[in-house]
A = this chain, B = another copy of it.
Amino acid sequence: MSSPEIDALTQALSRLPGLGPRSARRAVLHLLKRRETALEPLRAALDAVDARMSTCSTCGNVDTNNPCHICTDPRRDDTLLAVVEDVADLWAMDRARLFSGRYHVLGGRLSALEGVGPEDLSVEQLLVRARDERVTEVVLAMNATMEGQTTLYYIAERLESMNVNVTTLAHGVPVGGELDYLDEGTIAQALRARQPLSR
């Protein structure tokens, strides 16, 4: 039997997404074996995040500044607004380094199963931004899941009366994707949206 200290750390780690009780236990042992190189850096990193990170009250991003560095960056195109489900999606899009506009984080997706309704997401703030800011195009960048798409159509409807163009991400074969491993829906979408070969 291990000690209460170990149990508490195992439990705290096992609540992280992707870590079950067994891998949490292995992680604890890993940390114990490597105090200087693993435990201390993790502790310092948690401290820094807790002390310095806050949620941007404009877009919902997590950043050291509020408003965040994206919302305050003058080089960003303020006529273009991408709506994403979560901060992770914002980071993923920003890693692609193609999108030059700003973001709006909904904070989740509509889900009857999990009891998430429009009032649980930052939909009203989005409508205010679409109305008051200089936005001309809203890119709905929800995940290509059932719930993501339900959310997408709901937001699209709410934006209908606004004076903005509403667009969505293209569906198709992911880069590096093999047809054999793709579902029929994706292949059908990719076929429908096929483009002339550019040489």
Query: Is A135 interfacial (CB 8 A cutoff)?
Result: no
Residue of B nearest to A51 (CB): B5
- The oligomer's copy count stands at 2
Add 15 more A-B contacts to A3-B64, A12-B42, A32-B87 (CB < 8 A): A2-B62, A2-B91, A5-B45, A6-B62, A11-B41, A12-B38, A15-B38, A16-B31, A17-B27, A25-B88, A28-B49, A29-B62, A31-B46, A32-B55, A40-B50
**Cβ contact within 8 Å between A27 and B31:** no
Query: Is A75 interfacial (CB 8 A cutoff)?
Result: no
Contacting residue for A23 out of B2, B13, B18, B63, CB 8 A: B18
**Cβ contact within 8 Å between A6 and B53:** yes
**Cβ contact within 8 Å between B53 and A43:** no
Query: Is A158 interfacial (CB 8 A cutoff)?
Result: no
**Cβ contact within 8 Å between A32 and B53:** yes
**Cβ contact within 8 Å between B8 and A45:** yes
Chain A interface, number of residues (Cβ within 8 angstroms): 51
- Candidate in A17, A32, A42, A69 with the most chain B CB atoms within 10 angstroms: A42
Binary B-proximity of A60-81 (CB < 8 A = 1, otherwise 0): 0011100001000000000000
Name the B residues within 8 Å of A6 (CB-CB): 49, 53, 62
**Cβ contact within 8 Å between A42 and B26:** no
Contacting residue for A27 out of B11, B16, B41, CB 8 A: B16
Name the B residues within 8 Å of A62 (CB-CB): 2, 6, 29, 32
Name the B residues within 8 Å of A27 (CB-CB): 16-19
**Cβ contact within 8 Å between B43 and A43:** yes
